[in-house]
Amino acid sequence: MSTRTFRITVRGVFDGLSADQRTELLDRAAEHDVLRAAFTPEGHLSYDLTARSAFTFRFLDSGEEEEDILEASERAEEAAKVWLTERGYGYKNLRSQAEDLSQAPLGKRQRRAAAQKNL
């Protein structure tokens, strides 16, 4: 059985941030910039508080079966909640979206590489 790779995106909105919390997040904004966003096992947080109070966590997980994506989504949401709660950041409207990369269509370069392998 092959391992499936899942990309899970957890989105939400910061809620009820104090002035100190907002300042702390703004001070660390460079390391959480969307241009540095990546799917990682531990999760990567990105936000732009100067534009809006929304945030996105990106998680990378895996499983054996197609159904494992549901558990991966639950783990990702729980990890996001823990990260926010440990730091005292309020949040709302938490939701997740998951993608099984084994089901994703091949891009142009991937199709070309696969065709060359079959020659």
Cα–Cα nearest to 45, from 80, 69, 74: 80
Q: How many domains does the chain have?
A: 1
CA distance 60 to 9: 9
What's the CATH number where 105 sits? 3.30.70
When comparing pLDDT for 81 and 105, which is higher? 81
Q: Where does the pLDDT of residue 118 fall: very low under 50, low under 70, confident under 90, or very high at 90 and above?
A: low
Helices (H), 51-96: 68-86
Structural domain containing residue 70: 4-117
**Are the beta carbons of 47 and 25 closer than 8 angstroms?**
yes
Distance CA 74, CA 96 (A): 9
* Predicted confidence (pLDDT) per residue in 51-93, tens digit: 999 999 999 999 998 889 999 999 999 999 999 999 999 999 9
The pTM of this model reads: 0.83
